[in-house]
Chains A and B, each alone.
Chain A
Amino acid sequence: MSSDFYQSFILPYSGIIIKICRAYSNSQEDFEDYYQEVCLQMWRSKDSFSGNSEWSTWIYRLSLNVCLTLLKKEKRKKDQYFVSDALPDEVTENMKVFSDESLNELYSAIKKLSETDRAVILLYLEEKSYQEIAAIMGTNTNNIGVRIKRIKNRLKKILDGKIN
């Protein structure tokens, strides 16, 4: 790692990483673990960055992969240790991490989506093009538009309190 790899290549994109990690973590402790794991993976995998995509796109892809992997690991652990006593969702839903109340509500709603829907909507909100979203998600561009529309409708319903 060059002496300022973190300062030069990770810190300028920390906002992206934070937004993604917040969407997948359930507590401040989890969030910090996720953030650090993403940074660590970046450092480990930086040599595999081919330059075919933009560095920021690569960061999105890697951050999402790391978060999804960690989430799966956590689920496995919960399955093992909390078979009949899973942690209540309310604990995480009420976590207010942003100063903007509407944003906290939006994040709570996003966390109710499936893992892949979460990734798609985060990328959409970050104003990524359908092509970029498809490339990052490894899916077809044609599906993205329809999928985003469906996710947005679901989010609106959750935010209006129509479904829980």
Chain B
Amino acid sequence: MEKSIENIWKKGFELDQDLTAPKVSNLYNNKSQQLVDKLSRALITETKVFLPIAGAVMILNPLIGNSTWSGIPASLWCVAWYFIAKKQVKKITDMDRELSCLTFLKSFQEKVLDIFKTYEKILISGTPLFLLPVMIYTYYNNIDKTMGEILGIDPSFDASKLWLFASLPIMSLIAYMVFKLSVKIGYGKTFRKLRELIQDIEAMK
């Protein structure tokens, strides 16, 4: 056989042992790190967004013709969310990164799902609490009461406006559904990748 470079190449690679792929465990470590970092970054950024929103609500509310007072519940709600989210995100940022890749990923997945479950619970129970002052204000305002009367003490009863309070559970449900949808859109793909990555690593064991 002529010793051309083509022949050297062909003959040299006849033995498959030279083309054995290196182990890819580190590949999964890298992928895991990439996913974990991406998800953590997204959660941290979302947490930080609540404070500017709270400020914006306070500033913009009078500008669109509402009273400053009516912006306070929404702003407080945002500030509360900031502290809640900050505490929740700490669960993943404080995780022990010395764990094995699979153990870490499983624990991370568990914690992230737990965070979103907590958000759901707070959203369902918190929405009426946040909306209640708004409803009370709207209710009394509609019957031309002053602030002193609102907080005071002579609440005239107007049954025809009670429907406002009936909308609280509906608002909670809407908030819950919007939350679920936004999580699905914003995190669905990353959650799926995380799930598949765990399956991959488990399959390789």
Contacts and interface: CB of A to CB of B under 8 A. Distances in A.
A128 B18 CA distance: 21
Contacts of A116: none
Interface in A111-129: 121, 125
A3 to B, nearest CB: 5
B137 to A, nearest CB: 49
5 contacts: A1-B200, A19-B19, A100-B8, A100-B18, A106-B8
A164 interface: no
B167 interface: no
A149 B31 CA distance: 41
B31 A43 contact: yes
Contact of A6 (B17, B24, B199): B24
Contacts of B12: 98, 100, 102-103, 106
A97 B18 CA distance: 8
A58 B21 CA distance: 19
Given A11-B21, A100-B11, A102-B8, A1 B26 contact: no
Interface string B1-12: 001011011011
Nearest to B23: A32
Interface of B: 3, 5-6, 8-9, 11-13, 15, 17-19, 21-22, 24, 26-27, 30-31, 34, 193, 196-197, 199-200, 203
Nearest to A103: B12
Contacts of A18: 18-19, 21
9 closest cross-chain pairs (CB), A and B = A103-B12, A14-B21, A100-B12, A15-B19, A125-B9, A102-B8, A32-B22, A98-B18, A36-B27
B203 A15 contact: no
A6 B27 CA distance: 10
A130 B17 CA distance: 29
A2 B193 CA distance: 8
Interface in A1-43: 1-6, 11, 14-15, 17-19, 31-32, 35-36, 39-40, 43
A150 interface: no
B8 A40 contact: no
Given A100-B8, A103-B13, 4 more contacts: A32-B26, A40-B27, A103-B18, A106-B8
